[in-house]
Amino acid sequence: MVSEAQQAQIDYRRQQVARLLARGMTLREIVAQLAAMSVTDPATGASVPVFRNPETGEPYGLTTIGEDAKYARGLWEEDVAREAADNRAEVLAVLRELRRVGFAVGDLRAVAASLKQQRDLLGLDAPKKTDVAAPGPYPGIYNVHDTALDVIKEVCAELGFPEFPEPERETS
């Protein structure tokens, strides 16, 4: 079990790792930076390293710093999710208020607009189907035109492949 003092040291190291990660440093750069950090002992004036493994007295290695980085990224992801949820809740509250005011003053366009924004925010509408088929003589083949087919034929001929067969054309 980790003592309160040890946990405070771990938390401080993790904060430093997170700060250095945020500056775009690699794990190896962070290991070197932490190993170089020191403070001056006021009693002796000697330089005392700040980040050392208490069991070995050596600087922390890639494994420990990598775990700290993973921990920091996990916290960042939690923050992003929480902020997104808070933001969504705030927007929904504003939309509800806009709709309430819209009803109160008889502005049905404002009511409809707030409902549309709420549906969009919550993803309540079914996805819209988009047909991406290219117009042309080859139905069912997406974004292929006669010129592309000609290029394919030329490449096949240059590579020594047998004659490129014409695709069968579907009739409607």
State residue 142's pLDDT score: 46
State residue 67's pLDDT score: 96
* Least confident residue range of 60-64, 111-115, 135-139, 150-154: 135-139
C-alpha 35/C-alpha 42 separation (Å) is 20
Six-digit token pair at 161? 């492949």
Long-range contacts of 22-28 (CB under 8 A, 24+ apart): 27/62, 27/65, 27/66, 27/69, 28/62
C-alpha 78/C-alpha 18 separation (Å) is 14
C-alpha 115/C-alpha 81 separation (Å) is 24
Six-digit token pair at 49? 């390293």
C-alpha 22/C-alpha 18 separation (Å) is 6
What are the backbone dihedrals phi and psi of residue 48, each rounded to the nearest 5 degrees, phi first?
A: -115, 125
Residue spans per domain, the chain: 4-70, 81-122, 130-167
State residue 17's pLDDT score: 95
User: 80-105, pLDDT tens digit by residue?
Assistant: 888 888 888 898 999 999 999 988 99
